[in-house]
Amino acid sequence: MHRAVVIALLGVLGVLGVALASSAALADPVPHGVAPHAAADPVRPRAAMADYFAGEQRGGYVLVGLGVGGLVAGGLLYRRGSPTARGAAYPLLGIGVLHLAAGIFIAVSSSGRVATFGPEIEQDAGGFIARERPRMAGVATQFLVLKIVEVVIAAGGLTMAGIGHRTDRPRLKGAGLALALEMAITFGFDVIAARRASGYRDELATLASEPSARSGASDVPIAMFSHAVQF
């Protein structure tokens, strides 16, 4: 039974890894040797960008907290020694590591993007808006993929818990309950992050509709992507 639980959790982590890799591809950068655009006021684009990534950085800290909490809870449950508690410990520890790593990455990379994007906006605000809009469309698709995967895994966790309860397999029951809980928390986090990204996209759309930004954006291919994926 111990082996079955571990194999199931490895499968779940594999699915999460594939989902992250697939969604990352939707927002991966494409080199953008685009000629300078007509001048656009950099103040509002810079403020919108800085506000969005400040929220992303806070989200990274939240993920770090979730990761640490999962690791602590998983360790305590494993030490408790009951089969149900030990079953619950495995997903808490595994997903805790993922949350911790993702949180550190998001917090660090968000700060780096502000430092990178700021000069780009000062140099060519219209061009930045034209590149950032399709990138954020990829981010929106990324969040959709992640939320679907999280719902499916949460349902799988509840199914595991139900099977474990009916067949008197406490490790399976504990693992399923903890997995469903972790996915529910992660889903809630991603809903908030997706709303923040949507607000940023709306602000970019508003800025793009202004004459100064619109005049320089027409020669940028609509499929142009730039910079790294947002979690």
Chain position carrying tokens 């949460």: 154
Q: What is the pTM of this model?
A: 0.76
Residue 175 in contact with residue 159, Cβ under 8 Å? no
C-alpha–C-alpha distance, residues 17 and 94, integer Å? 12
pLDDT in tens, 44-63: 999 999 999 999 999 999 99
Average pLDDT over the chain reads 83
| Residue partners of 158: CB distance under 8 A and separation at least 6 | 176, 177, 180
- End-to-end CA separation in angstroms for the chain: 34
182: tokens are 């972790």
> Residue 149's pLDDT is what?
97
Radius of gyration of the chain (CA): 21
52: tokens are 């969005």
Q: Which residues of 164-180 are buried (b: 16+ CB within 10 A; e: fewer)?
A: beeeebbbbbbbbbbbb
pLDDT in tens, 145-200: 999 999 999 999 999 999 999 999 999 999 999 999 999 999 999 999 999 999 99
Domain ranges, ordered by start, for the chain: 38-217
| Residue partners of 50: CB distance under 8 A and separation at least 6 | 114, 118
Residue 30 in contact with residue 226, Cβ under 8 Å? yes
